[in-house]
C-alpha cells in the first residue's frame, strides 16, 4: 500500500479544516455532495442505510495516510455525481475540505494512488458479483471463500484474513446470516483449509479454497 508523503499531507492541510463530532454524518445521500474530505484524524464507517432502516457496513476508515482517507472521491468519477453511502464519524474526525476537480488533478499526477483506488473498486465489484452469484446458485461457501481470499493479507510467509473483519461483518457484506458464515468457517477449519490463530483466521490451503470458489469442490456445512 502507498501512503501519502509529507508534501501530500501539506497539500491537503492547506485547505479548510472541518471537525465532525463523533456520531455525526460526514457524507451521505441526504447531504449535498460538492466536496471531498481528507481524513486527518479519527475513524469513520462507510455504510448504506436501507429504506427499512437496516445498516449494511461496507468498511471502516481511519486516518492512516492511505487513499482511503479521501472520503467521497469515487463519487466524482461517476457520470452523475451521487452517493448511496453514508460516512459516519465513529470518533471525532478532523477533515480537510477539498475541491473535487483539484483532487482529481492531484490524483492524475500520482498514478500509484489512482491504482490503489482502482484496486479498491475492483475488490468491491468482486464482492457484489459473488454476492449475486451465491444468491442465484445457492453456493454461499463459494462467496465466503472468495471474500476471505480477497481480504487476506500476508504476514511473513503466512496469509491471514484482515482481523477487522468479523463473522458478522462478512455476513453483512455478503448478505448472508452470520450463523451461516460461522458454519462455513467451522467446516473449513475441520477440513484444515483454514485455522483460527488468535483473533485471526489463517489460510492453510489456498489451492483448495480456490476450488471452492470456482465450484470445483463443494463444501458440506
- Per-residue pLDDT reduced to its tens digit, 131-176: 666 655 557 888 899 889 888 888 888 889 888 788 888 887 887 8
Among 15-19, 48-52, 94-98, 111-115, the least confident range:
48-52
CATH superfamily, domain at 6-109: Jelly Rolls (2.60.120.10)
Residue pair 47/57 in contact (Cβ under 8 Å)? The answer is yes
What average pLDDT does range 214-218 have in this prediction?
80
N-terminal to C-terminal alpha carbon distance within the chain: 35
Q: What is the pLDDT of residues 57-99, one digit of tens each?
A: 778 899 999 999 999 999 999 999 989 899 999 999 999 999 9
Query: In the prediction, which pLDDT does 68 show?
Result: 93
Q: Check if CATH label 3.40.50.1400 holds for domain 115-213.
A: no
The single residue listed with the C-alpha cell 458479483 is 129
- Predicted confidence at residue 134, as pLDDT, reads 61
Rounded to whole angstroms, how far apart are CA atoms 1 and 181?
29
Location of C-alpha cell 442465484: 136
Q: What are the backbone dihedrals phi and psi of residue 197, each rounded to the nearest 5 degrees, phi first?
A: -125, 90
Cell numbers standing for residue 139:
453456493
Rounded CA separation 193/208 (Å): 7
The pLDDT value recorded for residue 103 is 96
Dihedral of alpha carbons 39, 44, 46, 49, sign: negative
Helix axes 178-190, 167-174, angle to 10 degrees: 120
Sequence ranges of the chain with CATH classification 2.60.120.10 = 6-109, 115-213
Residue with cell 463443494: 218
Residue given cell 458464515 in the structure block: 181
Beta bridge partners of 192: none
Is pTM beyond 0.85? Reply is no
- 30-53 per-position pLDDT tens digit: 888 999 999 999 999 998 877 767
Amino acid at each position: 500500500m502507498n501512503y501519502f508523503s509529507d508534501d501530500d499531507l501539506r497539500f491537503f492541510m492547506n485547505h479548510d479544516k472541518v471537525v465532525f463530532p463523533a456520531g455525526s454524518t460526514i457524507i451521505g445521500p441526504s447531504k449535498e455532495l460538492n466536496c471531498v474530505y481528507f481524513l486527518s484524524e479519527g475513524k469513520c464507517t462507510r455504510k448504506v442505510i436501507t429504506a427499512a432502516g437496516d445498516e449494511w457496513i461496507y468498511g471502516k476508515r481511519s486516518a492512516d495516510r492511505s487513499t482511503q482517507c479521501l472520503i467521497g472521491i469515487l463519487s466524482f468519477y461517476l457520470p452523475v455525481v451521487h452517493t448511496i453511502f453514508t460516512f459516519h464519524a465513529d470518533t471525532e474526525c478532523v477533515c480537510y475540505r477539498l475541491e473535487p476537480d483539484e483532487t482529481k488533478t492531484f490524483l492524475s499526477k500520482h498514478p500509484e494512488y489512482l491504482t490503489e483506488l482502482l484496486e479498491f473498486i475492483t475488490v468491491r465489484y468482486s464482492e457484489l458479483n459473488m454476492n449475486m452469484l451465491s444468491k442465484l446458485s445457492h453456493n454461499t461457501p463459494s462467496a465466503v471463500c472468495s471474500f476471505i481470499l480477497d481480504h487476506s493479507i500476508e504476514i511473513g510467509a503466512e496469509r491471514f484474513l484482515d482481523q477487522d473483519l468479523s463473522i458478522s461483518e462478512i455476513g453483512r457484506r455478503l448478505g448472508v446470516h452470520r450463523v451461516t458464515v460461522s458454519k462455513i468457517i467451522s467446516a473449513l477449519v475441520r477440513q484444515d483449509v483454514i485455522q483460527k490463530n488468535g483473533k485471526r483466521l489463517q489460510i492453510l490451503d489456498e489451492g483448495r479454497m480456490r476450488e471452492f470458489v470456482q465450484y470445483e469442490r463443494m463444501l458440506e456445512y
